[in-house]
Structure 1
Amino acid sequence: MPSRLGGRPSGAVRIRTPDGEPLTTTLLDQLRRLHLAAGEPSRSQLKKDADLGGHHVGRSTLDEALTKPGASWPTVAALVDACVRHARRSGRPLTAEQRDPAQWRSLYEAGRRTSTSAVRLIGLIPPAATHFQSRPVAEAGVRVLSGLGGVGKTQLAAAHARARLAAGDLVIWADASSRDAIVSRWADAGEQLSRATPADPERAAQRFLSWLATASRPWLIVLDDLADPRDLRGLQPPAGTAAGQILITTRLRDTAAVEHGEPVEIGVFTEAEAGGYLRAALPGRLADDVAGVSADLGRLPVAMAQAAAYMTDLDISCTEYRRRFADRRRRMDDLFPAEDRVPGDYRWTVPVTWSLSIEAADRSSPAGLARPLLEMAGVLDSGGIPADVFTAEPARTWFSYTGPTESGAPQWRERGADEIRDGLRRLHLFSLVTFEDGLVRVHDLVQRAVRDRTDPDRLDAVAWAAGDALLAAWPYDEGARAQSFRASAAALDRHTGGSLWTGDEYHAVLTVAGRSLGEAGQVAAAAEHFRELHALSAERLGADHPYTLAALGNRTIWQGETGDHASTTTARELVDARRRVFGDDHPDTLTARHTLARQHMRDGDFDSAAAELESILRTRTAILGPAHPDTLTAWHNLATCRGENDPAAAADEFENVLAKTREVLGDDHPDTLSSRHELARWRSAAENPEQAAAEFEALLADRIRVLGPDHPQTLSTRSELIHATTRSGRETDPAGRFAALLDDQLRILGPDHPETLRTRLNLVDAGRGEPEEVLDDLIRVVGPAHPMTAQAAFLRALIRDPEDLMLSVPEGLWQAMLRVLGPDDPWTAGQGELVAAIREHRSRE
């Protein structure tokens, strides 16, 4: 029946209680009163009644709908249906309004309108450029603003967004330079507008897109700097809605980007716009030939901005600028070829303008620093280079060589960190970089102009120095900042090609970037990185070169982290190769054997692993001595391996390992702390959780003191402490403790780190969260073969269908693989065949 509540602006409604008293309250209060009126059925009973009604909602989700605001409509509908069924069965009276789904839907929609209507801006609209020249942008539909970088696409979109925001519309601004960036913005919007769960960005993004499709309030979405149209697959905002408009800015032309809407080519300034810009940007006494400068620069906005900065800083007129410009063009036309994507008669203007600006910046204080700074910036990530890369010791050394003198020898002038930051600010002044918030951003065209202008031999040296600087500044705690370093390492490899290779090595930044991927939880990406590095090294350096074998070793490790059993075969190949090249007792051979033992452990072959580790321990003890860190590492891993069959024996063994490690390395060494962690873990597994909990508590205090509260190993100790206190019976709220840990892991490690996913799995085990969501993410991040994926499939089956785990475990895993990998993936096909075989076996019984 029609709701009499839909128009209430406050989100409150009027539903009568069974005694006839009208009550105005919120959705959460109404749900709690319904639950009370129905006889307060248990969470298990609610789950059974919801299942009878055909609702697929978890018990923990129903529980949260009674304890927290923000439940989704399917959850509200399931809870109401379950309460009504229980009340009917138990003979408890409910009012007609309490039984009416339409009334509840109206209440839900009213609350949702109230909470989301206050949101007007999501994301940051770039500030207006100085002397911005307005140009018209279509007011409706989907428009793709394309054109050369620097023509003002982003500024046009920003001006339109500010106008829509001033009119009271909802504006969402998204960086579209990568799929990750788009997902992150959509997830943020989903959290604010549709109460999506922030811990699951992909699902939150999809929930936001569904919200957009039905939104009635006017909205504008700006997707700025779309780098690859494929990044929008599955993330395209709904087109054709009456309320919405979409603006996409991109540098791409004649590509699939135009499929997302009506293409709008953004060209250079018109003569009037160009003239207006220069007259506004220049003091009147310098603007004596604005039309001539505009013509010389081809009215390209980015070139005009640099030229205006150059003329203002040097206090020269348009006439003098044109004289210098013409002279520089005659000398540079052949030396500085244009980029193919620069159209028309102004194809040379960006490099010419760069040359004028950089020379002016180079002459200003700090003199001689602007050019080498831009050279290094030109080979790193244009989207944001951490400023401490430029002030790292290898970079300072590079910048201190100011270039060859007349005699041909490099001239040394020591550069300090403050002087380098001053140089970056000078480049910012000349519009050559943007230097703010600790990041240096460079326009792609400026980067390309710098690289093209640099002598190839010098570019090789710049690339190597940039790699050294990245290594020196790299944040090895692998927090959120590491992503910007990985992006710069990838750009360095992409821009400089073979510059990171010599005849006998590749730069260590290629190794560190791959390991950083793995440490950030992107284990599949790390395995692929090292697979490619190994293949390239075999081609360039030879199959048996030490660097090639090092890449193979890293490939083996990260392949194993994905749960791929083929890593054991790869590990055997590594051992055979190192034995052939280095001999049986070489440290690299022993390390390879250690890697093989770890793969045996991952495969569950603990006997083979123990035999290998025992042999390694004997050899390392004989060659290195019992106190060497490598010997202690072998002993540590052997004790862990033995613990899989005898936890008590492992605890006893770790007491000896810890005593020796503490004697050799000291109390606060990371290896000592690691041995304490393992000792407590095996005590807990050996049915001594009380002592384990006490040891974990002491260890946590020491790891916070030595490593800090945000170190990944500190977070790991927190997790084990929760397990130990739960086993000992001391823990009263394990789910709450795991939820607090998850918040910190999401902030520090990110949503895709294996330890973050492990905590989400622990929360499912503790009765919170949906197993399907965790299972989907595990398949996506670590792969279907990983042990955690199998554990998630088992938990899902245990919750959904505990009576027939033999079928429901593989069937649930198969359904998740269909969702994540698709029907054509080989893993999906294999799991589907297994499910079919079990079903056929069941039919014959």
Structure 2
Amino acid sequence: MGRRLAREMADGGTAVLGQVLAGTGGVGKTQLAARYARDLLRSGEVDLLLWVTAVKREAVVAAYAQAAEDVLGITLADSEQAAARFLAWLEPRPPGGDGERGPGWMVVLDDLADPVDLLADPVTPRIALWPPAGPHGRTLVTTRRRDAVLTGHGHRCIDVGLFDRAESVAYLTQVLAGERGDSGNGARANVAQPPDCIARLAEDLGDLPLALSQAAAYLLETGLDCARYRALLAGRTRALARLLPEPGSLPDAQTVTLAATWSLSVDRADRMRPRGLASPLLVLIALLDPNGIPASVLTGKAACRYLARHRTGRDGPDEPDEPAAEDTVEAFDAVDALRALHRMHLVDHTPGVPHQAVRVHQLVQRSIRETLSRDRLDEAAVAAADALVEAWPEVERDPALGRALRANTDALRRVADGALWAGQAHDVIFRSANSVAAAGHYTHAMEQFGTLARQAAQRLGPDHRDTLRARLERAEMWAMSGHPLVAADELRQVVGDTARVCGRDDADTLRARHSLAHARALAEDVPGALVEFEQVLCDFQRELGDEAPETLGARSFLALWWGAAGDTAGAITALEQLVADREELLGRDHPELFWARHNLAAYRGRSGDTAGAVSAYEDLFADRERVLGPDHTDTLANRAEHAYWLRESGRNTEALFALERLVVDMERVLGTCHIELFGVQRSLAWCWEEAGDTAGSVLAHRQQLDDVRGAFGPDHAQTAEAAVTLTHALIGRGRELRDGSRTPPSDPERRTAMPEETSQPRPARLEQALACFNEARGLTDPEESPGVYGIILHDIADTYRDAHDLKEAVEHFRQAVSYKQQADNPSDLATTMTALANTLVAMGERTEAREVLEQLAAEVPKIGDTERRAAVLHNMALTYEELGRMGVERAYADAVSACRAVLALIDGASDPGWYASVLKDMGDVYDAQDMLPQAHAAYEEAVRYTRRIESTSTSLITVLIALGRTSRRLGKREGETTVSGDGAAVNGARFAAAPSQPRGASPDALSDAAPTPDAPPPDAPAPGDDES
């Protein structure tokens, strides 16, 4: 700063009348001016230096008059005239004939209290006191003011601010190490201090130069170490004045203490219009967040009432008739008082940033607080709390405002919390915690309510309503943050205690019962929750009436859980009536009406009207954005649901882009570790997979698992859900690599940096597939999810089989069977047992294969779905046929029996293709045994059913060829048994047609299909869907 000052002074020339160093008390303006003046004297650039303490006009005039006497030898009775003579002497003169220039001079006007003092008055003989501009003269003013007049009329203003942190640390390090000779009080002992402790001390002192200087002097004088000194500062058991040097021990030739420095500024601000309001307003500011106070807090009715009660009434001598106080203070008076504090550099007032319009140094705040009595401090704290509640909007449209109000509440509670618990908790305490919850930060809100519950119990007693309320709110946050069982346990206790204290029919008790029902529903006790919801609704209606918000809320939750229990139509009917009632009672723009519309749209989508759901969410988004703002959590939730129903209606590309934009906005508004954000990121990852980017989906799910685990810990429900979704993504990715069916995304920007498996050798793809399946296996607990674990083992076995490692395939199929036997899914188990039998056949293990098929036969009757049971039997028939070809006794007979069982289960009229396929396979079994009449009859029936298929060319040709060969073997003429249409089909068929299905493939499941896992996550594709 010193070098900048020298540069500014040197560059000023005659166009600049003077430089002004402006800044709050304690930033070192006087020291900078003194250092610069000494440097000029030493260099010989000035012949005359006049230093004036410019706290009053009279002091400036007297100093000029004395200079006239000392320099010019002029003594006049009129000080104004003497001052004028001195200023005239400073005027630049043209050089004389001998080339002599005028003297070099510098005038320093230190601590200018009021810029008006330097101006002329045309009505009175008062002269202007600004020294003239000239090539050999310099004027330097230091002031706490930042009036516009200081930057006009050729004056150049230099703002002197705080040190930056590096400057603060460097200064403290040098002084405490005895490397500076200006520490002032003669102490020179080296005090070794840890660098990190010095940096934290600089932060504690707000990088204010005067505070740093006096604190360093105190440490040197007392011998305290830095850590102990910081503890004393933080403890607030000692006043700031007792932690700084006494006036006689100040360093750097300082003459006033830190507190006295600001006291002068406050006194001057109080003398500005509107008189007497600056100091009480600064008291309110001293209790709030130094980093930014919303303007609405300091200019609202609550703040104005406080200002009116505590107006100081300090009149200026020039306006003695102004009343000392007025009955009322208006918002514009508060704004003017802010400007007065701003002009005196006591605060920074930036109206263009309304949510953080007022900033103040933390030591200014402490200095002001320490002047207050306990009663005055408590009164001011309650007034500040009232002002915060008044400024808090009912609906937080702007997240920045909510954050600012919460930060100011926290600051208020740090310095005056006791005043907010007089008989009951002040509204601002719960309002701040509820604001955290409304912003979606459930875990943080839970912690806050837990703290409130403990404080309320200590201050008000365990049975006070505020204590019970804080416990209730904490339990509700437990449920919202993914711990419904913990919430339900806590709520049972809250219900009991509230009923005991307040009565069973009290509104607080009913609310606790309602929250308990919700927690039970979230914990999957939906039937019990529905009973409780219905009872609570009746009680709300009886005690509070049909139109009470609590009653309407109970109706909403009851409808939601009806739908969750499967009664979608009932939920829609109830929600339609709720929408109508809320609109009539609350108006079209009430947030609770928006939620009723939100839930109604969701259940319409679940009823099958996905397009209607998309349209409803688009309409609702327009209303929410208009009323709540684009960054409100409800608006963001609306966008998430809209994207979900876009995806459900088949508009995956639109959903993908909508979710990408939503993730960016949610990270900006909610942060990167938010429970709602994680859900949206999962949906986005599934959209990537559906768009063909399975590699990108896996990467996204893997990153999210790391983020969720870091945010909530390894045992949280969100962590478990993230592990499940990653497992499913890995299964899908592994199958794609194994089957070689990857379809690259159409958008090149969506292609990940993964290797292009389509260009890799098949062994490499299979190796990558095994890595995916094994990673999924590591994420799955075989005891908790034996079915899913068995599915993964089945996929591993399939991969080994594709790699022709049949031994490993059989081993993993065996393990898969053992785990699937622990799960209640006979269809799933049958799929793996069939695959195991087929692989054993391929290895030539006929005996074990036959044993597996016999075990499978016992499982078939347990399969509830008829078509699925028929598919399993069909696959068994094919495997028995293979065993028959290998010479296993009665295998052909078992194959025929299985085929007959299939034909008894399926309908040839509705599915002639499958029926014909089974008949064809039965004919093949007969043919293999040389049972030609039976084979001929089966092929003839197969021909008849195949003709019913719309596209019959290939399949009909296959059956006709088999029929023809059997006919020849029976000794009949070629084509004799076929009608004319058959010959035409054989001779005219296009053999380039698509190949028929593999032997044994049914419309529902292949022999090696992996079934759906036990419980796929919402919106996630079941791992077996791509093979069924």
Unaligned 5+ segments in structure 2 are 9-24, 33-161, 186-207, 214-237, 315-323, 689-696, 733-772, 785-814, 823-1028
Aligned to 1:313: none
Instruction: Tell me the distance in 1 between the aligned counterparts of 2:547 and 2:3.
Output: 64
Matched, 1:396 2:304: yes
Pick one of 498, 503, 520 that aligns with 2:418: 498
Matches within 5 A, 1:333-482: 337-343=239-245, 345-346=249-250, 349-403=257-311, 412-436=326-350, 437-438=353-354, 439-474=357-392, 476-477=396-397, 479-482=399-402
8 Å Cα contact 1:478/1:516 also seen in 2: no
Instruction: Tell me the distance in 2 between the aligned counterparts of 1:486 and 1:267.
Output: 43
8 Å Cα contact 1:655/1:679 also seen in 2: yes
Matches within 5 A, 1:580-595: 580-595=500-515
Pick one of 639, 642, 645 that aligns with 2:559: 639
Instruction: Tell me the distance in 2 between the aligned counterparts of 1:579 and 1:252.
Output: 63
8 Å Cα contact 2:286/2:368 also seen in 1: yes
Aligned to 1:294: none
Q: Is the partner of 1:453 in helix, strand or coil?
A: coil
Aligned to 1:578: 498
Instruction: Tell me the distance in 1 between the aligned counterparts of 2:269 and 2:494.
Output: 52
- Structure 1 counterpart of 2:362, which letter? D
8 Å Cα contact 1:798/1:805 also seen in 2: no
Q: Is the partner of 1:655 in helix, strand or coil?
A: helix
Q: Shift in Å at residue 493 of structure 1?
A: 0.7
- Structure 1 counterpart of 2:633, which letter? P
- Structure 1 counterpart of 2:620, which letter? L
Matches within 5 A, 1:95-110: none
- Structure 1 counterpart of 2:662, which letter? L
Instruction: Tell me the distance in 2 between the aligned counterparts of 1:479 and 1:381.
Output: 17
Matches within 5 A, 1:138-287: 247=166, 265=176
- Structure 2 counterpart of 1:384, which letter? G
Q: Shift in Å at residue 519 of structure 1?
A: 2.7
Q: Shift in Å at residue 657 of structure 1?
A: 2.6
Instruction: Tell me the distance in 1 between the aligned counterparts of 2:170 and 2:243.
Output: 10
Q: 1:535 to 1:251 in 2, by over 3 A?
A: farther
8 Å Cα contact 1:522/1:782 also seen in 2: no
Q: 1:811 to 1:386 in 2, by over 3 A?
A: farther
Matches within 5 A, 1:309-328: none
Pick one of 455, 472, 492 that aligns with 1:536: 455
Pick one of 634, 643, 649 that aligns with 2:570: 649
CA-to-aligned-CA distance 1:557-611 (integer Å, 9 cap, x gap): 1122222231211111111111001111111111111111111122121122111
CA-to-aligned-CA distance 1:640-659 (integer Å, 9 cap, x gap): 11211213432233223323
Instruction: Identify the range of structure 1 (556-565 vs 347-356) with the bigger mean alpha-carbon deviation.
Output: 347-356
Fraction of identical pairs, as percent: 34
Q: Is the partner of 2:370 in helix, strand or coil?
A: helix
Instruction: Tell me the distance in 2 between the aligned counterparts of 1:129 and 1:810.
Output: 67
Q: Is the partner of 2:310 in helix, strand or coil?
A: strand
8 Å Cα contact 1:269/1:301 also seen in 2: no
Q: How many residues align?
A: 529
Instruction: Tell me the distance in 1 between the aligned counterparts of 2:501 and 2:295.
Output: 42
Aligned to 2:16: none
Instruction: Tell me the distance in 2 between the aligned counterparts of 1:748 and 1:271.
Output: 49
Matches within 5 A, 1:660-739: 660-739=581-660
Instruction: Tell me the distance in 2 between the aligned counterparts of 1:269 and 1:542.
Output: 56
With the length of structure 1 as denominator, give the TM-score of the two structures. 0.56
Instruction: Tell me the distance in 1 between the aligned counterparts of 2:179 and 2:290.
Output: 22
CA-to-aligned-CA distance 1:15-41 (integer Å, 9 cap, x gap): xxxxxxxxxxxxxxxxxxxxxxxxxxx
Matched, 1:809 2:798: no
Matched, 1:597 2:517: yes
Q: Is the partner of 1:385 in helix, strand or coil?
A: coil
- Structure 1 counterpart of 2:779, which letter? V
Matched, 1:606 2:522: no
8 Å Cα contact 2:26/2:261 also seen in 1: no
Aligned to 1:508: 427
With the length of structure 2 as denominator, give the TM-score of the two structures. 0.47
8 Å Cα contact 1:718/1:741 also seen in 2: yes
Instruction: Tell me the distance in 1 between the aligned counterparts of 2:386 and 2:525.
Output: 41
- Structure 1 counterpart of 2:400, which letter? A
- Structure 2 counterpart of 1:540, which letter? R
Instruction: Tell me the distance in 1 between the aligned counterparts of 2:375 and 2:5.
Output: 41
Pick the structure with greater CA Rg. Answer: 2
8 Å Cα contact 1:376/1:462 also seen in 2: yes
CA-to-aligned-CA distance 1:767-802 (integer Å, 9 cap, x gap): 256223323333444555655433322121222356
CA-to-aligned-CA distance 1:298-331 (integer Å, 9 cap, x gap): xx844899xxxxxxxxxxxxxxxxxxxxxxxxxx
Instruction: Tell me the distance in 1 between the aligned counterparts of 2:508 and 2:647.
Output: 42
CA-to-aligned-CA distance 1:706-732 (integer Å, 9 cap, x gap): 434443222222221111122112443
Q: 1:786 to 1:685 in 2, by over 3 A?
A: farther
8 Å Cα contact 2:563/2:571 also seen in 1: yes
Matched, 1:518 2:437: yes
Q: 1:800 to 1:669 in 2, by over 3 A?
A: same
Matches within 5 A, 1:113-128: none
8 Å Cα contact 1:524/1:781 also seen in 2: no
CA-to-aligned-CA distance 1:144-201 (integer Å, 9 cap, x gap): xxxxx96789x99xxxxxxxxxxxxxxxxxxxxxxxxxxxxxxxxxxxxxxxxxxxxx
CA-to-aligned-CA distance 1:119-164 (integer Å, 9 cap, x gap): xxxxxxxx99995999xxxxxxxxxxxxxx96789x99xxxxxxxx
Instruction: Tell me the distance in 1 between the aligned counterparts of 2:538 and 2:312.
Output: 56
Q: Shift in Å at residue 511 of structure 1?
A: 1.0
Matched, 1:757 2:666: no
8 Å Cα contact 1:563/1:783 also seen in 2: no
8 Å Cα contact 2:399/2:669 also seen in 1: yes
Q: Is the partner of 2:265 in helix, strand or coil?
A: helix
CA RMSD of aligned residues (A): 4.3
Pick one of 681, 696, 705 that aligns with 1:775: 705
Q: Shift in Å at residue 507 of structure 1?
A: 1.3
Q: Is the partner of 1:381 in helix, strand or coil?
A: coil
- Structure 2 counterpart of 1:342, which letter? L
Instruction: Tell me the distance in 1 between the aligned counterparts of 2:713 and 2:6.
Output: 49
- Structure 2 counterpart of 1:514, which letter? A
Instruction: Tell me the distance in 2 between the aligned counterparts of 1:578 and 1:556.
Output: 14
Q: Shift in Å at residue 375 of structure 1?
A: 0.6
